[in-house]
Structures are given as structure tokens and as C-alpha cells.
């Protein structure tokens, strides 16, 4: 047995994919699937702010793709939103400040439908959490998980729309977040009583370090595939 470390990449079936938006752009991405059998659920990941260095390889999303197909039987879809660059390549278009990215979310969900990927959950980190809140209810999802939600681009009405919606909503809030800390998050999400808010004392916006990474991935799995929780720390 070896300990799972930040560089650990477990077996998965990896496919380099392209997504096509309704406004004519091609977005680059990757789908990580379990090596054997069908996944029990699908994570559609939405990365942090590209103008601040966010992309499909932002470390929590990359480690979800490296670990969760093998450890939790979960498919992980990652992609660069419009105008975003990563080692995978550069998506067409330019940054739309969370407005035209609605077409990027739709393109990802169309891909999920075309591939018959099961039980999709949006996992949005920072800027990506804004996209999940703003546009998630436009699509057939099981739920959305918000990592370090800043609530800067999301209106009160867009948040409140989740109150009576069927999809589940989970917010993972770092205790030392740069933008939205647990007490303020409770106030800002008060219109959604069903929201599950999980706080990490000492956690930071970027979830740096293996301890914080493991916590985030475990909370994602607890929501999406509880049977696989808690995740092992050795393989």
C-alpha cells in the first residue's frame, strides 16, 4: 500500500474531448471515466476565474479527475471555458465575465446528455460556483457543489431560485476565505434553507495542501456517492 499524494494519478480511461457551444465556439476538455463498468455519477466541473489563473487543471479539479474515477466510480468532465488556456489547449472566444459562459455550461450539459452520462452534478469552484448558481437550474442535474463561492456575480434572485428547486445544493466554505467566510455565507444563502453548508476551519479559498484537498474530495463524494465515503488515503 502507498499513500495517496498530491501527484498520485490513479487508473482511469481518459478521453480528450471538444465541446461545441450554440454561439459557434469550440471548447477543449477531458473526460475521465472508471476503467471498468459505468460510473454511478458524473461531475461537470467549472473552474475558477480564468483572468486570475483558473483553468481546467486547477488543482482540486485535476485531482478529482485523477482520483475519483478509481476511488468512487465517478466520471469527471473538465473543460476550459471560452478564451481559457491550459496544457490541454485553448478554448475559442474570450472571457465573458460569467455572462456568455452560460453557453459553455450548456455545451457541457449537452455533451453529458449525448453520452448518456449518469446523475450529473455541477462542481463549481469560485468563479465556477457563480456559473453553477446562475445557470445550473437550466439543466437536468442532480445537484451542485460550490467550492469557495464568492457570490460576486450571482444575484439574490438567482440564489433564491434554488430554494424550491429539485437539485441539491452544497456549499463548501473555507473558514479563512478571501471573499466569503462561513458566517456571511449563512446570511447570503439564507433564502435557500435546504442548502447544506459545510465549513472547514482554517481552510482557504484555493484549498492548498493535501489535507484540504482530501477534505474537499471527501465532501464531494459524500454528496454524490455516499457509499464510497470516506475515501481511502492509501492504495
The domain spanning residue 118 has which CATH number?
3.40.50.1820
In a domain, 17, yes or no: yes
- Picking from 123, 122, 104, the residue whose alpha carbon sits closest to that of residue 22 is 104
In a domain, 1, yes or no: no
The count of structural domains within the chain is 1
CA distance 42 to 119: 6
Q: Over the stretch 3-14, which tens digit does the pLDDT of each residue have?
A: 999 999 999 999
The pLDDT of residue 14 is: 98
Q: Over the stretch 57-109, which tens digit does the pLDDT of each residue have?
A: 999 999 999 999 999 999 999 999 999 999 999 999 999 999 999 999 999 99
| Domain extent for 18 | 13-228
In a domain, 6, yes or no: no
Q: Give whole-number Cα distances, 175 to 152, 179, 203, in Å.
A: 18, 11, 5
In a domain, 234, yes or no: no
The pLDDT of residue 59 is: 98
Region of residue 82 (phi > 0: left; psi between -120 and 50: alpha; otherwise: beta): beta
In a domain, 8, yes or no: no
In a domain, 233, yes or no: no
Residue where the block lists cell 496544457 = 87
The pLDDT of residue 225 is: 98
The pLDDT of residue 232 is: 97
CA distance 70 to 90: 28
The pLDDT of residue 154 is: 97
In a domain, 7, yes or no: no
The pLDDT of residue 165 is: 98
Q: pLDDT tens per residue, the chain (235 residues)?
A: 999 999 999 999 999 999 999 999 999 999 999 999 999 999 999 999 999 999 999 999 999 999 999 999 999 999 999 999 999 999 999 999 999 999 999 999 999 999 999 999 999 999 999 999 999 999 999 999 999 999 999 999 999 999 999 999 999 999 999 999 999 999 999 999 999 999 999 999 999 999 999 999 999 999 999 999 999 999 9
In a domain, 27, yes or no: yes
The pLDDT of residue 176 is: 98
Amino acid at each position: 500500500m502507498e499513500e495517496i499524494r498530491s501527484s498520485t494519478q490513479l487508473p482511469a480511461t481518459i478521453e480528450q474531448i471538444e465541446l461545441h457551444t450554440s454561439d459557434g465556439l469550440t471548447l477543449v476538455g477531458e473526460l475521465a471515466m472508471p476503467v471498468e463498468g459505468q460510473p454511478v455519477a458524473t461531475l461537470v466541473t467549472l473552474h475558477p476565474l480564468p483572468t486570475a489563473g483558473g483553468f481546467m487543471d486547477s488543482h482540486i479539479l485535476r485531482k478529482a479527475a485523477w482520483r475519483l474515477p478509481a476511488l468512487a466510480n465517478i466520471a469527471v468532465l473538465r473543460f476550459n471555458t471560452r478564451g481559457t488556456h491550459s496544457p490541454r489547449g485553448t478554448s475559442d472566444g474570450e472571457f465573458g465575465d460569467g455572462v456568455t459562459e452560460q453557453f459553455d455550461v450548456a455545451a457541457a450539459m449537452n455533451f453529458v446528455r449525448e453520452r448518456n452520462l449518469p446523475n450529473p452534478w455541477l462542481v463549481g469552484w469560485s468563479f465556477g460556483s457563480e456559473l453553477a448558481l446562475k445557470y445550473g437550474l437550466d439543466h437536468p442535474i442532480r445537484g451542485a457543489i460550490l467550492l469557495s463561492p464568492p457570490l460576486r456575480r450571482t444575484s439574490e434572485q438567482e440564489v433564491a431560485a434554488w430554494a424550491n428547486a429539485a437539485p441539491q445544493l452544497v456549499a463548501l466554505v473555507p473558514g479563512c476565505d478571501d471573499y466569503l467566510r462561513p458566517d456571511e455565507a449563512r446570511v447570503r444563502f439564507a433564502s435557500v434553507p435546504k442548502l447544506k453548508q459545510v465549513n472547514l476551519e482554517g481552510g482557504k479559498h484555493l484549498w492548498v495542501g493535501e489535507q484540504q484537498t482530501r477534505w474537499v474530495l471527501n465532501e464531494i463524494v459524500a454528496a454524490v456517492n455516499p457509499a464510497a465515503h470516506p475515501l481511502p488515503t492509501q492504495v
